[in-house]
Amino acid sequence: MIDITDHFSDRSAGVRERVRSALSRAGRPADDAILVAVSKGQSVGAVQAAYRAGQRDFGESYVQEGVEKIAALDAADAVWHFIGRIQSNKTRAIAERFDWVHTLDRERIAARLAGQRPTARPPLNVLIQVNVGGEPQKAGVAPHALRPLAEAASRLPGLKLRGLMTIPPAGLAPSEGLAHFRRLAALHRELADEGYGVDTLSMGMSHDFEVAIEAGANCIRVGTAIFGPRS
Ligand SMILES: *Cc1c(COP(=O)(O)O)cnc(C)c1O
């Protein structure tokens, strides 16, 4: 019989250890970063095993799949992060079921999420996705368009603007990745200095979370390094 719990704990413990080392190299406290376990493409069983091993933050990229896992896990203390592209006809399910959104990039979506957030729940935590690399096909606001969106999102009841997120272009060398992450960290610091009250910098995935932590990430989104390949 395969014990998936043990198998899972090994991976997640290893990732946690690497996170701690990266934080320590950066002179930061061991608990200074949230590890979001990206469970898209993974089974409900894998999510349950992760939960049993102590994992609480989970990330999903597809609304329907996420909603099903949230219901299946049914754990009041689990924290669900929506990290996929937001289609306007799917905002209601995101606003009702998730705790965080990492991929806000349009004012119209911000308004929909805010209006659809149930008043009985705390405000939805939102991160603005920034297309730091200026890639044509990529989601996210251009750095010059960040201010107006931050301004709008921070004024909407139902939302709480918490910070920024980015996904670097594929195939960057570690030094280029570091420069990319540092640009997002600088934008984040500017917003903080301007009084936006932001405290979360979401950057880094399985292949580059250590570099992201070096640049100041305090929320990393790790899928395959924890769960193995996706189906
Ligand atoms: C899938 C995904 C991840 C996790 O990617 P891994 O390489 O499996 O760690 C992180 N962030 C976003 C936005 C994703 O879509």
Closest CA to 165 of 211, 197, 131, 134: 131
CB 2 within 8 A of CB 46: no
- Tokens 């405000």 belong to which residue? 123
Residue 94 parent element (H or E): helix 91-97
The ligand 1 site (C-beta within 6 Å) comprises 38, 40, 61, 83, 167, 205-206, 221-225
What's phi and psi for 61, nearest 5 deg?
A: -105, -15
What pLDDT digit, counting tens, does each position of 60-117 carry? Answer: 999 999 999 999 999 999 999 999 999 999 999 999 999 999 999 999 999 999 999 9
To test the ligand 1 pocket, which listed residue (12, 38, 127) has its Cβ within 8 A of the most ligand atoms? 38
Evaluated on CA atoms 45, 46, 50, 55, the torsion sign reads: negative
Mean pLDDT of 23-36: 97
* Predicted TM-score of the model (pTM): 0.96
76: tokens are 């009041």
Q: How far apart are CA 103 and CA 156, in angstroms?
A: 17
- Tokens 């670097």 belong to which residue? 168
pLDDT of residue 4: 57
Q: What is the CA radius of gyration of the chain?
A: 17
| Confidence band for 1, pLDDT divided at 50, 70 and 90 | very low
Please tell me the distance between residue 205's alpha carbon and the centre of ligand 1 in angstroms: 6
Q: How far apart are CA 83 and CA 103, in angstroms?
A: 6
Poorest-confidence range of 55-64, 69-78, 169-178, 204-213? 169-178
Mean pLDDT of 169-173: 91
pLDDT of residue 76: 97
Atom of ligand 1 nearest to the CA of 40: 1
